[in-house]
């Protein structure tokens, strides 16, 4: 299924339970994990080549034209207005776009978010969902994640590759996510990994191939629904935080 897995956590859990009861293999489109630099960054963090993760910054900076609300990013979809409204889309730039980047950081670092504090701004007259969002995430062992998302960042990026790079700051060095992937530590010279960025179709093709292999072998899918629920729980907590004006814990 497409991301996000569902409109809310109760729907997501019901979907997972239904698939389990009927022996169906469920997965979700987090195909950006298939970018070569993501696999390399995960290896670096796993090997502790830059020490323990201290803090991450996650950026989703793009621009949605007026036509996005009726035709989507490529301006070639069927006429529809589901993206405009929170009750049919689940939310704006955080829910529909930044979920990819949040998943990437969690996938690379293995961090577990336990608390969310968020602020949102809604400035597009065509929609009742947020166009900009800032989140502070606190993780299980005190690590921090800063999330910045905006669909009003004209001229800064091009879909589906958003503008600013993501950063992983560690005790012995840092990683700049992107192509090229750059990482540094205090004891060695700078490192650079130059594998090209794949386009969206190539990423989805790799995800389909992995999913089909799981079907054939009757294995769990490479992107498990529990991981999609993990991202969705952060997003729903962020919207709760905006409504209540304070931090929200994630159980």
State residue 157's pLDDT score: 56
State residue 65's pLDDT score: 86
How many CB atoms are closer than 10 A to CB 17?
A: 10
State residue 186's pLDDT score: 77
State residue 224's pLDDT score: 92
State residue 53's pLDDT score: 96
Three-point CA angle 2, 6, 218, nearest 5°: 60
What is the C-alpha to C-alpha distance for residues 4 and 107, in angstroms, rounded to an integer? 16
Q: What is the pTM of this model?
A: 0.92
State residue 200's pLDDT score: 82
Phi, psi of 116 (to 5 degrees): -130, 135
State residue 190's pLDDT score: 74
What is the C-alpha to C-alpha distance for residues 73 and 84, in angstroms, rounded to an integer? 13
Burial class (CB in 10 A: 0-12, 13-18, 19+), 87: exposed
State residue 163's pLDDT score: 46
Bridge partner list, 117: 136
State residue 156's pLDDT score: 65
Give the CA-trace dihedral at 151, 200, 58, 9, to 10 degrees. Answer: 80
State residue 196's pLDDT score: 76
Q: What is the pLDDT along the chain (251 residues), one digit of tens a residue?
A: 989 899 999 999 999 999 999 989 999 989 999 999 999 999 999 987 799 999 999 999 888 888 889 988 777 778 999 999 999 999 999 999 999 999 999 999 999 999 999 999 999 888 999 999 999 999 999 999 999 999 998 766 554 444 457 899 999 999 998 878 888 887 666 788 887 788 888 999 999 999 999 999 988 888 999 999 999 999 999 999 999 999 999 97
State residue 56's pLDDT score: 97
* Rounded CA Rg of the chain: 18
């Amino acid at each position: 299924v497409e991301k996000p897995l569902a409109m809310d956590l109760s729907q997501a859990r019901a979907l997972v339970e239904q698939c389990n009861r009927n022996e169906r293999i469920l997965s979700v489109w987090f195909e950006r994990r298939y970018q070569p630099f993501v696999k390399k960054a995960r290896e670096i963090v796993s090997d502790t080549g830059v020490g323990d993760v201290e803090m991450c910054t996650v950026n989703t900076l793009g621009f949605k034209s007026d036509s996005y609300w009726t035709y989507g990013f490529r301006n070639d979809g069927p006429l529809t207005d589901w993206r405009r409204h929170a009750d049919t889309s689940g939310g704006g730039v955080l829910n529909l776009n930044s979920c990819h980047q949040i998943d990437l950081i969690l996938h690379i670092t293995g961090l577990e978010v336990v608390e969310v504090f968020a602020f949102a701004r809604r400035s597009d007259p065509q929609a009742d969902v947020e166009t900009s969002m800032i989140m502070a995430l606190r993780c299980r062992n005190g690590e921090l994640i800063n999330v910045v998302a905006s669909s009003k960042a004209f001229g800064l990026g091009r879909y589906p590759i958003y503008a600013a790079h993501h950063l992983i700051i560690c005790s012995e060095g840092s990683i700049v996510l992107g192509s090229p992937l750059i990482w540094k530590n205090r004891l060695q010279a700078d490192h650079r990994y130059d594998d090209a960025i794949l386009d969206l179709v190539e990423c989805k093709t790799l995800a389909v191939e992995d999913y089909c292999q799981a079907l054939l072998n009757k294995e769990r899918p490479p992107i498990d629904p529990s991981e999609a629920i993990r991202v969705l729980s952060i997003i729903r907590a962020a919207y709760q935080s905006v409504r209540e004006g304070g931090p929200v814990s994630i159980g």
